[in-house]
Amino acid sequence: MSMERDEKTSRTGAAGSDDRGDKKRSVGRRKQCKFCGDEALTIDYKDQALLKYFITDRGKLVPRRISGNCAKHQREIAVAVRRARMIALMPFAVTGA
C-alpha cells in the first residue's frame, strides 16, 4: 500500500504536474489575526464599518483562511455579524436582483 502511494507521488512529482504545497508553502506569509495584533481593536456588533470587512458581497461570512482571524476572534466576529443582522445593520443575504 505504502509502496503504491510512494510510486504514485514520485510519478506525479516527476511529471511535474502536481507539485502542490512545497513551493507555495515556503513562499506564503502566514496571516496574523488582526485582533490579536492590536489589543485596542474590539469586536462590537454595532460597529458596521469593521464588520463589513468580514462578510462577502453576498452577505456571507468570510472564512478564517481568507480573513486570517484566529479561532477565538472568528467566533466573536461570527456572533457580532449575527447580532448585527438582527438589527438590520448587516444583510442576511444579498441577492443579485
Partner 1 sequence: MAQVRHGSSRDIPGRKREYETIYILRPDITHEAVGLVNTKVRGVIENGGGTLLKVDNWGKRRLAYEVQKQMKGMYLFFSYLGTAGLVEEVERNLRLTDSVIRAYSVKIAENVDPATRTSEVTDETFAKAATPRPDEEEIATGQANLRAVFGDDEDGAFDFEEAVFGSDDDGPM
Judged by the rule CB under 8 A, the positions of this chain that interact with partner 1 are 45-46, 83, 85-92
| Other beta carbons within 10 Å of 42 | 11
Closer Cβ to partner 1, 14 or 87, answer by number: 87
Q: How far apart are CA 68 and CA 20, in angstroms?
A: 21
- Cβ nearer to partner 1, comparing 60 with 85: 85
Name the minimum Å distance from CB 77 to partner 1. Answer: 15
Nearest C-alpha neighbor of 64 from the set 96, 33, 25: 33
Least separation in angstroms between residue 21's CB and partner 1 is: 40
**In the bound complex, what is the minimum distance in angstroms from residue 30's beta carbon to partner 1?**
33
DSSP H helices, 16-95, are: 22-27, 34-37, 48-51, 64-67, 71-86
Nearer to partner 1, 10 or 48 (CB): 48
